[in-house]
């Protein structure tokens, strides 16, 4: 475990690409203990200048879409191209820390064995079903450990999809054809969020359904508003199992980065991500600190009750809290 005494040495090992040091740094950054949080801060401050150089890719898809199989094949392709690849696999089935299933790790067997790869299963963020608030910091750690490509993988349900989109540059949605899945995807707003849509399992009997799904996505993309004016989301298909079409996905990602970097959008995107994260944390912190005051808590709860029981209009409740805050906390 990282402590005050071995912090410098741990950072040195992390920077040298030592996977054990990286894993330990991740555990530290995810820790809730206040002494760990101080150390995390020191560690992150030190590595900051060495961050920002990786491609940050998000991959989501419903369970069974083939994410692990795809990541294994895709990751191995990148390794063969001389890239160092890190996968942060968010596991929504384990909201409590420590108990993350190793499912994803064992399913990416080849990649898990590759020297140039690192796979980290992390539990999801608990109640909201979203990802951990530290997921962005895990990306920074991977960058400091010289990984060229950092992939955040998660199941496309609940909050997690939007949250992953908020910490990566390129959002890849892995889909399958048939069974009306493409219509579900369209309803869920996949096209507004995804930079690249990949329809997996383009093999055997599935091929016709995959071709139809591609067409449906393509026509839907013609009418929805795109995330960036300079990028029309790409629709591709592949077979992760038969290892076909994977290179095209990589080429589409490279092309996306090219377009985004040239237009200056990539830099803007990363700045926005940091600002959004900090704002959200500050807002949550402000609420935490307010709630820690008993008098406020009691007053607020009473207001909530009165609004709930139709004794006052919600707007009156808001006005009451506003006056309370001004009087008790922000009086000039
Ligand atoms: P995940 O839950 O999204 O991680 O999906 P998995 O990678 O575990 O795959 C779910 C199932 O789909 C497994 O039985 C895989 O073998 C299968 N699968 C994954 N990719 C493909 C593919 O390209 N073609 C076919 N036919 N099956 C696939």
The pLDDT assigned to 224 comes to 86
Q: Tell me how far the alpha carbon of residue 115 lies from the centroid of ligand 1, in angstroms.
A: 24
Give CA–CA dist 132/97, Å, rounded. Answer: 10
The total of structural domains in the chain comes to 3
Cβ pair 241, 235 in contact under 8 A: no
The pLDDT assigned to 76 comes to 97
- Same structural domain, 24 and 60: no
Measured CA distances, 268 to 192, 274, 278 (Å): 19, 10, 15
Nearest atom (ligand 1) to Cα of 61: 3
Nearest protein CA to atom 27 of ligand 1, as residue: 201
Nearest atom (ligand 1) to Cα of 238: 23
Over residues 77-105, the pLDDT tens digits come to: 999 999 999 999 987 665 444 444 444 44
- Same structural domain, 22 and 56: no
Which residues of the chain, if any, have pLDDT below 50? 95-105
The angle that helices 314-328 and 294-308 make with each other, rounded to 10 degrees, is 170
Q: Which neighbouring-strand residues pair with 14?
A: none
Decide if 280 is inside a domain.
no
User: Residue 225: phi, psi to the nearest 5?
Assistant: -80, 135
Q: Tell me how far the alpha carbon of residue 278 lies from the centroid of ligand 1, in angstroms.
A: 37
- Same structural domain, 98 and 161: yes
The pLDDT assigned to 136 comes to 93
Question: Residue 190: which CATH number?
Answer: 3.40.50.300
User: Residue 146: phi, psi to the nearest 5?
Assistant: 65, 30
Nearest protein CA to atom 9 of ligand 1, as residue: 66
Q: Tell me: ipTM over 0.90.
A: yes
What does pTM read for this prediction? Answer: 0.89
Q: Tell me how far the alpha carbon of residue 200 lies from the centroid of ligand 1, in angstroms.
A: 8
Decide if 184 is inside a domain.
yes
Q: Which one of 239, 262, 285 terminates a domain?
A: 262
Closest CA to 225 of 265, 189, 266: 189
Cβ pair 108, 119 in contact under 8 A: yes
Decide if 84 is inside a domain.
yes
63 Cβ inside 6 Å of ligand 1 = yes
Give CA–CA dist 192/249, Å, rounded. Answer: 19
Task: Give buried/exposed letters for 207-231 (b at 16+ CB in 10 A, else e).
Answer: eebbeebbebbeebbeeeeebeeeb
If you write DSSP's letter for every residue of 177-210 in order, what string do you get? -STTHHHHHHHTTHHHH-SEEEEE--SGGGHHHH
Nearest protein CA to atom 24 of ligand 1, as residue: 201
- Same structural domain, 324 and 204: no
User: Residue 237: phi, psi to the nearest 5?
Assistant: -135, 155
- Same structural domain, 11 and 94: no
317 Cβ inside 6 Å of ligand 1 = no
Decide if 277 is inside a domain.
no
- Same structural domain, 59 and 103: yes
Q: Which of 60, 64, 209 to mutate to test the pocket of ligand 1 (most atoms within 8 A of CB)?
A: 64
Closest CA to 236 of 194, 184, 178: 194
What is the residue whose two structure tokens read 């996968």?
A: 87
Q: Which one of 245, 262, 279 terminates a domain?
A: 262
CA 236, 240, 245, 251 torsion: positive or negative?
A: positive
61 Cβ inside 6 Å of ligand 1 = yes
Cβ pair 122, 30 in contact under 8 A: yes
- Pairing assessment for the beta strands 55-61 and 85-91 based on DSSP bridges: unpaired
Closest CA to 46 of 27, 29, 23: 29
Q: Tell me how far the alpha carbon of residue 24 lies from the centroid of ligand 1, in angstroms.
A: 31
The pLDDT assigned to 96 comes to 47
**Domain containing 94: what range?**
52-262
Over residues 209-228, the pLDDT tens digits come to: 999 999 999 998 888 888 99
Over residues 292-308, the pLDDT tens digits come to: 999 999 999 999 999 99
């Amino acid at each position: 475990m990282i402590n005050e005494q071995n912090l410098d040495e741990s950072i040195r090992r992390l920077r040298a690409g030592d996977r054990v040091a990286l894993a330990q740094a991740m555990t530290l950054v995810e820790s809730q203990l206040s002494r760990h949080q101080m150390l995390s801060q020191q560690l992150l401050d030190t590595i900051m200048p060495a961050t920002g150089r990786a491609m940050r890719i998000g991959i989501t898809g419903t369970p069974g879409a083939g994410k692990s199989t795809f990541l294994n094949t895709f990751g191995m392709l990148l390794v063969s191209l001389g890239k160092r690849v890190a996968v942060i696999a968010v596991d929504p089935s384990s909201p409590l820390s420590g108990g993350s299933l190793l499912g994803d790790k064992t399913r990416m067997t080849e990649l898990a064995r590759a020297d140039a790869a690192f796979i980290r299963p992390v539990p999801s963020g608990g109640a909201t079903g979203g990802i951990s608030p530290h997921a962005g910091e895990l990306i920074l750690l991977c960058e400091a450990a010289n990984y060229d490509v950092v992939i955040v993988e998660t199941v496309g349900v609940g909050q997690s999809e939007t949250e992953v989109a908020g910490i990566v540059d390129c959002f890849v949605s892995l889909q399958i054809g048939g069974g009306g899945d493409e219509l579900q995807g369209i309803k869920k707003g996949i096209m507004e969020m995804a930079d690249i849509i990949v329809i997996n399992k383009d093999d055997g009997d599935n091929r016709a359904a995959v071709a139809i799904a591609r067409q449906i996505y393509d026509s839907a993309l013609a009418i929805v508003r795109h995330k960036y004016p300079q990028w029309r989301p790409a629709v591709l298909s592949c077979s992760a199992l038969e290892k076909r079409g994977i290179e095209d996905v990589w080429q589409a990602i490279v092309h996306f980065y090219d377009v985004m970097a040239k237009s200056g959008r990539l830099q803007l995107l990363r700045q926005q991500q940091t600002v959004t994260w900090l704002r959200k944390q500050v807002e949550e912190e402000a609420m935490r600190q307010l709630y820690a005051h008993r008098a406020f808590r009691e007053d607020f709860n009473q207001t909530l009750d009165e609004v709930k029981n139709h004794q006052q209009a919600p707007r009156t409740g808001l006005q009451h809290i506003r006056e309370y805050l001004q009087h008790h906390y922000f009086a000039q």
